[in-house]
Structure 1
C-alpha cells in the first residue's frame, strides 16, 4: 500500500513541475518532454511520407475518406465504360449506332412494302368488285372463258420473271413495272373467278380474308415463335396441296362432290395462311431468316400472292356453302 506522496503525479504536474523520479514523460536531464501527439486528420501532422505514425500501424490519408456517404475524392467513380480502352468504347458506340441504323432501315422497308401491298390490294379488290357487281362484265367473262386462261398465263410468266429478278434496278424501276403488270394479271384472274360466284359469297370471302390478314399481321409482330425455320415444312405442305388439288380436280370432273371441294379449299386456305405468317416474319427481320431491305418488291409480291390465294380459297368455301 502506497501513500499519497508516493503516488505518481498528475499529467499537468508532471508537465509543469517535473521531478527527478522515473515517471513517464520525464527525461534523465530534467528537460520536459513534449506532450503526446493527438490524432489530426491533416496528413502533414504525425504522419510520415508513407502514412505511418511511429511504428504502431498504418492509417489512410485524410483526403481519401472525407466522410460517410461520400465517394473518395482521390478515387474515380466507377462507370459502365470504366476499365475499357478507347478502342472498345468506339466499338460500343459503333455497335449501338449500327443497331439503330439497321432498325430504322428495317422500319422504312416495312412501311414501303405495306404501302405497295395496299396499292396492289386496292387494285385487285376494285377489279373483283367490277366483275362481281357489273352484270355485263360478269356475263362476258362467263361467255368467253379463254380470257381467264390468258390472264393465268400472263400471271405465271410475270411471276417467274419477278422471282428471278429480285434486285431493284437503279436506272429505271423495271421491277415495279413488272409488279404492276403482275398485279393487273392476278387481279383480272381473281375477278374472272369471282364472276362465277354469287355476290354474297364474294363479299363474305372479302370480309373473312381481311380479318385473317389483320390477325396474322398482329400475331407475327407480337409472337416470339420463329416460323422462318419451318420453310421445309411449308414446302412439303405446298407439294401435298398440289397433289390433293390434282386428285380433287380429277374426281370432281366426273362427279361434283361439294364436301370434297370445300375440304380442298379449306386446306388450301390454311396452307396459304401459314405461308403468310412465314413471309410476314421474313419481312419483319428479327428472326432466323429475313429479307434484305433492298428486296421490297419481292416482299410485297410474296405477301400479295398469299393474300389473293387466301381470298380465292375462302371464296370457294363460301361459294359452296351458299349454294
Structure 2
C-alpha cells in the first residue's frame, strides 16, 4: 500500500472482495491430460484491454480503487451461442469442442423431405385423385342413364333399334377402339386432353349399346335393374373405402374366375338352357361386384395394389365398366326370370 502526493491511498495489489466471483483459470478447466492427448481445445479469444490503473479501467469506464473487479474479455461472436455453462456466460473449453477431427454431422435429407411433402403418395394428392375419379365416373353414369331413359321410354327409338340390330355392332366397334387404346397405351391415357376425348367416345359408344340392350326389355324390368344396381354399387363402394380388409389380394383369383366365366358363357350359347342362363347371370353379377370392390380399393393407395394419381382416366374406366356389367347381368337375370 502506498500514498501519493494528493493524499489518496493506492493499493499496489487490490485485495479480493468477499462474495464476488473470480474468473476461473482456463488451464484449470481443461480436463486432466487433454493437453497431451491430442484433443482439440478451443480457447475463447477476446480483444486486448489495458491494465487497471489507480483511477479505474479507461476501457470499461470503472471507478478507481480497483473495485469492482475487472470483467472478463469479450468472447468471439461464434462462441456466444447456447452452450454457456461457464461463469458469466463464458463457455468452457471442453464444451465448445465439436469432436474428433474429420467428423461432421450428416447433411439434412432435403430430397426425402420434399417427396414426403409433395410426393405422389401424399394424402392431399390422393384425396384429390379420388375426387377426380368419382367426378368423371358420375358424368359417365349420367350420360348412360340418359341413353337408357331415351331407349326405354321413347317408342319410336325402341322400334328403330329393334328393326336395325346392326347398329349395336357398330357401337361395339366404336367402343372397342378407344378401349384398347386406353388399355394398352399408358402414355396416351395420361396425356391431357386426348385421354378425356378418348374416354368420352368410349362412354358414348357404351351408353348406346346399353340403351340398345335395354330397349329389348320391359320398362319395369329396366327400372328394377337400375335400382338394384345403384343400391349394390353404392354399398360396395362405401364398404370398400371403409373396411381394413385388403380386397386387392384377390385380384388373381378374380382373373381366374373371369376366364372360367368366359368358357361357361360359350357353353351356354351352344347348350342353351334357362337354368344355366340364370346361373350364368347370377355368377356374372357377383364376379363384377367383387371387381368393383377391388377397383375401388386400388384408388386408396394403401393396399397391396394401387393406382398412380396420374391414372384417373384408367381408374374411372374400370369402375364404369364394372357398374355397367353389373347392370347388364342383373337386367338379364330379371328378364330371364320373367320368361
TM-score by length of 1: 0.69
2:183 maps to 1:167: no
Q: Could you tell me which residue of structure 1 aligns to residue 328 of structure 2?
A: 312
Q: Could you tell me which residue of structure 1 aligns to residue 315 of structure 2?
A: 299
Contact residue 168 and residue 295 of structure 1 kept, 8 A: no
Aligned runs of 1:116-265 on 2, under 5 Å? Answer: 116-167=136-187, 173-252=193-272, 257-265=273-281
Deviations 1:155-177 (A, max 9, x none): 22221111112335787511111
Q: 1:278 to 1:259 in 2, by over 3 A?
A: same
Contact residue 168 and residue 294 of structure 1 kept, 8 A: no
Q: 1:172 to 1:259 in 2, by over 3 A?
A: same
174-183 or 92-101: bigger deviation: 92-101
How far apart are 1:96 and its partner, in Å?
5.4
How far apart are 1:97 and its partner, in Å?
2.7
Q: Could you tell me which residue of structure 2 aligns to residue 4 of structure 1?
A: none
- C-alpha separation in 1, matches of 2:190 and 2:283: 41
- C-alpha separation in 1, matches of 2:233 and 2:258: 19
Deviations 1:33-63 (A, max 9, x none): xxxxxxxxx9x9xxxx99xxxxxxxxxxxxx
Contact residue 227 and residue 277 of structure 1 kept, 8 A: yes
Q: 1:146 to 1:288 in 2, by over 3 A?
A: same
* Other structure's SS at 1:260 match: helix
Q: CA RMSD in A?
A: 2.9
Q: 1:170 to 1:227 in 2, by over 3 A?
A: closer
Q: Which has the higher helix share?
A: 1
Contact residue 151 and residue 158 of structure 2 kept, 8 A: yes
Deviations 1:72-118 (A, max 9, x none): xx8xxxxxxxxxx7856978865753579711111111111111100
2:129 maps to 1:109: yes
Q: Could you tell me which residue of structure 2 aligns to residue 274 of structure 1?
A: 290
Contact residue 281 and residue 329 of structure 2 kept, 8 A: yes
Q: Could you tell me which residue of structure 2 aligns to residue 71 of structure 1?
A: none
- C-alpha separation in 1, matches of 2:318 and 2:245: 20
How far apart are 1:258 and its partner, in Å?
2.5
Q: Could you tell me which residue of structure 1 aligns to residue 49 of structure 2?
A: none
Q: Which runs of 5+ in 1 are unaligned?
A: 1-41, 51-73, 75-84
Contact residue 110 and residue 283 of structure 1 kept, 8 A: yes
Contact residue 194 and residue 202 of structure 1 kept, 8 A: yes
Deviations 1:182-207 (A, max 9, x none): 00111111111111111011000001
Q: Could you tell me which residue of structure 1 aligns to residue 50 of structure 2?
A: none
- C-alpha separation in 1, matches of 2:199 and 2:121: 28
Contact residue 167 and residue 295 of structure 1 kept, 8 A: no
Deviations 1:248-291 (A, max 9, x none): 11112xxxx33221111111101111111111111121101111
How far apart are 1:153 and its partner, in Å?
1.9
How far apart are 1:313 and its partner, in Å?
0.2
Q: How many residues align structurally?
A: 246
Contact residue 182 and residue 188 of structure 2 kept, 8 A: no
142-151 or 197-206: bigger deviation: 142-151
